[in-house]
Amino acid sequence: MMISTKETLSKEQVRQYHQQGWLGPFTLISEVQMAEVRRRINQEILEPGRIAELHEKDYFHNRHLDNRCIYELLSHPNLVEKAARILGGHLVLWRTNFQLKPPLAEQDDWDTEIPWHQDCAYYQPSPNVILSAWIAVDEATRASGCMRVLPRSHKRLYPHIRRPRAERFGLFADPSTFDPNKAVDIELKPGQFVFLTRAFFTLPSLIGPHPVG
């Protein structure tokens, strides 16, 4: 059972989110609870996908539609109550996906790096009311290639360059238009999460244990 604390956001935290483009970390569930979620993700999603030799796009995305564990995690009051403080009470769970980083020995041709980009380069809703929640299933540290965010980069859409023949993330931000040295490392414990808006973010190549988020 996922125990709720129903902690919401203060006005100052909401203001910070709109100023910085991201907010957190917050605790969604405990590390013990996330260990059970991790077991179920392996058992119900990752292993069946590997056994069936599916492409990641066929079993990594939108599993809240057919997996009760994922749906309950994403609809947990500890997340929803905070999201409602930012967007209001009428919320829609639009999409979900996994970012999996296998151990180095298992990567082969699997590119685990996510280039600097803004999600809004791929889709530009009007009005832009999309709120992303990045949830750590495993511990995410600098050594394991945690997410990096560029604060305040959500203020505008930056130029992006197309990557020919890229299977994943076919667009990346023009490196001449921003300074990655101003980025913040988002280190998370299992069960923690952060909110993101249109801010730049990246996931560097793996150099440590394999995380899932």
Got the DSSP string for 38-102?
HHHHIIIIIHHHHHTT--HHHHSB-GGGT-HHHHHHHT-HHHHHHHHHHH-S-------B--B--
Residue 131 in any domain: the answer is yes
- Predicted structure pTM score: 0.83
Residue 5 in any domain: the answer is no
139: left (phi over 0), alpha (psi -120 to 50) or beta: beta
Give, rounded to a whole angstrom, the gap between the first and last alpha carbons of the chain.
21
pLDDT at 105: 45
CATH of the domain at 123: 2.60.120.620
The full length of the chain comes to: 213
Residue 1 in any domain: the answer is no
Report the DSSP pairing between strands 171-173 and 160-162.
antiparallel
pLDDT at 162: 85
- Specify the number of domains making up the chain: 1
Residue 209 in any domain: the answer is no
Lookup result for tokens 């750590």: 136
Range of the domain at 140: 11-203
pLDDT at 16: 97
Residue 39 in any domain: the answer is yes
Residue 87, amino acid: L
Two tokens, residue 20: 């910085």
pLDDT at 171: 81
pLDDT at 101: 67
Residue 213 in any domain: the answer is no
Residue 61 in any domain: the answer is yes
Could you list the pLDDT tens digit for every one of the 213 residues in the chain?
A: 454 556 789 999 999 999 999 999 999 999 999 999 999 999 999 888 776 676 666 668 889 999 999 999 999 999 999 999 999 989 999 889 888 766 554 555 555 567 887 877 677 766 678 899 999 999 999 888 888 888 998 888 888 888 777 666 778 788 888 888 898 999 999 999 999 987 667 765 444 344 455
Positive/negative CA dihedral, 34, 206, 67, 186: positive
